[in-house]
Structure 1
Amino acid sequence: MKVAVVGAGAIGAYVGAALHRAGADVHLIARGAHLEALRSHGVRVLSPRGDFEGRPHATDDPAEVGPVDYVFLGLKANAYAASGPLVAPLLHERTALVAAQNGIPWWYFHGLPGRHSGRRLQSVDPGGSVSRALPPERAIGCVVYAATELEAPGVVRHLEGTRFSIGEPDMTVSRRCLDFSEAMQAGGLKCPVEPDVRNDIWIKLLGNISFNPISALSRATMAEICRHPDARGLVTAMMRETLEVAARLGSRPQISIERRLAGAERVGEHKTSTLQDLERGKPLELDVLLAAVVELAELTGTAVPTLRAIHAVADLLNRTTSRSLK
């Protein structure tokens, strides 16, 4: 099995090192000091489950790698539209794209029966720009439950979780999913093949859609948000509205709001990725988290006043912050 990791940051390098440990032919696409470290000493993973190292091939030139069986996308979703030049040299006729992203994916309605089948969401696939770079028929959904951070160039700190749920957009259990799952498990990761991975998307989104923008607006950690009664109530309202949108689309994830809150509180004094991006002066990944669900609410006629309000101020924060960096 030949795998390219496009965006070999903390999650991408972690997955690449695990697959390499399993015997896959892995190629990491990276840049800068991180790439130089990968080239000189490979990936070093520091984990409570046991440290390990891997030395997969690393490059900044996908043409050097050539066509692969799987492309694991470790990029933020807001970089997908511009990823075409990186991905195109890696494709052959059957190459699958394993899209490890938060939020609503660009392929959400691909292969989904019903009146919305094939619909494109402007918030996540503006003008079809993502679909042109990443054809939906190649996509395998992937929901990441692992937490990692790049401690230093070439050094990944694994904090918790090893689960990467995957599934086909058309809800079949395909051979390509089973093969990728087997390789991930051989590398020490959990990788269940879900008949309907959209349920996992909504479960993960419950936390991202609420904690991520609130943390950026307040500069608070997840535990601080949970301990503040009014902020906790705000999170609850956002989760409730999100579950209603999911239900209108036929998804009913089997998790309660209280259980989701308890899980977030256990994470502790953790800064969400959106708050970390804000502190680093990076664009905030809000379109796939908030704007997409507001668009889906309009599509299904669902009232989401809390989501709309938080989206308005978070989007304003993103725009003013981006303007100040120019």
Structure 2
Amino acid sequence: MIPLCEARGMRYIIIGAGAVGGAVGGRLAGAGREVVLVARGAQYEALRTHGLRLVTPDGTHVHRLPAVDGPAALGTLREDDVLVLAVKTQDSVAALDAWGPAPVEGGGTAAERLPLVCAQNGVESQRIALRRFSRVYGVCVWLPATFVEPGVVSAAGAPLTGLLHLGRYPSGTDDTARRIAADLEESRFEAPVVADVTRWQYAKLLDNLANAVEAVSGVIDGDEGRALYRRVRAEGEAVLTAAGLPYAGGDEQRAVRGDKVRLRPPDGVARGGGSSWQSLSRGTGTIEADYLNGEICLLGRLHGVPTPLNDLLRRLANTFARERRAAGSLPVAELARLADEAVAFVQEPGAARP
């Protein structure tokens, strides 16, 4: 069992020390904050044996940090612990069920007493968390990071590593959010504390609708990929409008982000693709499409807005993950054809479903 540290500063327990979790944990540790990494399988073994190697534009940083595979290894949690949930949304329930009942010094459980920060794509994990945890914080994660291999994470953003809007969920701010933000801002992040964090998360969700396009076709920057994404995003915007859910507009986002997080892939490390592309490339067997494109499908069904493109991408991404098909193996022209058929199926009763 890992003994409690004598220092009583805020301790960050990074649940899911993959790309995002590893980048956040590594940068916090580099700024002198106390960090515990939580991982499973080969990642856990690599972190425990060799430490975390964080590769960034300013160099490679090796952090020998406590690594555990669950709450039992820590024993009783501290009153000043902050749980940072950085697993993919499809893994959230298992993680929350494991950490929620963990005892905290002075009495009570983690779910009752400790802050839980959801540093994930989409909006569903914080909903799931709020069923179990009384203090939930949402983060809008703008952080280009890649899981390179067990124990190695690349973060390609510069001069800042990422932009992390942070606030209470479902709304509001407090001193805990401001303390966390202050630690992040000393760790090469910008972390605005906002009372309307979901407004930023829904804006990011619209961007993340492209993840499935990239994952299955490997193309998002070409003309065909961009044209398809515009159609997919338009569906998402129509759904959010119908649901009455506000989101930060493009001009507002650009004004906040500026040139603070520019992509500068470190030498010798190819970034590859985004989080969904990485899931397929690693053959994990799961993907987060149900909580990105699927969030638009859910809201569309609740508010009477057809979402054939997002439903197609959700189904394709899940099929690719389940069957462990290669990332980017569907030609973008074929994906565009399937998209046209999906729209026709909705518009023309009796048309063959793609």
Do both proteins adopt the same fold according to a TM-score greater than 0.5, normalized to the shorter chain? yes
Per-residue CA deviations over 1:217-255 (Å, capped at 9, x if unaligned) read: 32x2332xxx233x3222111111212222332313211
Say if 1:321 and 1:46 are closer, same or farther in 2 by CA, change over 3 A.
closer
Query: Structure 2 matches for 1:35-74, cutoff 5 A?
Result: 35-65=44-74, 66-68=76-78, 69-74=81-86
Aligned pairs for 1:71-150 within 5 A: 71-83=83-95, 84-89=97-102, 91-92=109-110, 93-108=112-127, 134-135=132-133, 137-150=134-147
Match of 1:254 in 2: 249
The number of aligned residues is 287
One-letter amino acid of the structure 2 residue matched with residue 85 of structure 1: A
Give 1:302 shift.
2.6
* 3-state DSSP of counterpart to 2:124: coil
2:342 maps to none
* Partner Cα separation in structure 2 for residue 79 and residue 275 of structure 1: 17
Distance 1:295 1:180, change over 3 A: same
Within 1, Cα distance between the matches of 2:271 and 2:34?
38
Other structure's SS at 1:205 match? helix
* Structure 2 unpaired stretches of 5+: 1-9, 104-108, 265-269, 326-354
> Runs of 5+ in structure 1 lacking a partner?
109-124
Please list the CA deviations of residues 114-146 of structure 1 after superposition, one character each: whole Å capped at 9, or x if unmatched: xxxxxxxxxxx5xxxx655x43x3221012211
Q: Deviations over 1:155-186 (max 9, x none)?
A: 32211242222111232121111011111112
**Alpha carbons 2:120, 2:141 under 8 Å: kept:** yes
RMSD in angstroms over aligned alpha carbons? 2.8
Q: Would you say the 8 A contact 2:201–2:247 is kept in 1?
A: no
Distance 2:84 2:14 in 1: 5
2:156 corresponding residue in structure 1: 159
Q: Decide which structure has the larger Cα Rg and report it.
A: 2
Report if the CA contact (8 A) 2:116-2:135 is conserved: yes
- SS of the equivalent of 1:251 reads coil
Query: What per-residue deviation string (whole Å, max 9, x for no partner) do you get for residues 198-235 of structure 1?
Result: 122122212221x22222332x2332xxx233x32221
Matched residues in 1 for 2:247 and 2:237: separation?
Answer: 7
CA contact (8 A) 1:150 1:156 kept: yes
Evaluate the alpha carbon distance shift between residue 44 and residue 295 of structure 1 in structure 2; reply closer, same or farther with a 3 A threshold: same
Moved more, 169-178 or 300-309: 300-309
Match of 1:111 in 2: none
Letter in 1 for 2:30: R
Identity percentage over the alignment? 29
Distance 2:214 2:70 in 1: 36
Deviates more, 1:273-282 or 1:2-11: 273-282
SS at match of 1:81: helix
Q: 1:296 Cα shift? A: 1.0
- The whole-number CA distance in structure 1 between the counterparts of 2:40 and 2:46 is 10
In structure 1, C-alpha distance between the alignment counterparts of 2:247 and 2:45, rounded to whole Å: 45
The secondary structure found in structure 1 opposite 2:302 is helix
Q: Distance in 2 between the 1:50 and 1:199 partners?
A: 34
Equivalent residues of 2:213, 2:219 under 8 A apart: no
- 1:305 aligned residue (301, 305, 308): 308
Q: 1:50 to 1:163 in 2, by over 3 A?
A: farther
**In structure 1, distance between residues paired with 2:100 and 2:142:** 24
Output the CA distance in 2 between the equivalents of 1:321 and 1:9: 20
Match of 2:16 in 1: 7
Give, in angstroms, the shift of residue 321 of structure 1: 4.8
Distance 1:321 1:152 in 2: 18
In 2, the alpha carbon distance for the partners of 1:155 and 1:319 equals 25
CA 232–151 in structure 1, closer or farther in 2 if over 3 Å, else same:
closer
Is residue 277 from structure 1 mapped to residue 279 from structure 2 by the alignment?
A: yes
Q: CA deviation at 1:41?
A: 3.9
C-alpha distance in structure 1 between counterparts of 2:294 and 2:191, whole Å: 29
Which residue identity is paired with 2:102? P
Q: 1:312 to 1:2 in 2, by over 3 A?
A: closer
What is the TM-score of this pair, normalised by structure 1? Answer: 0.77
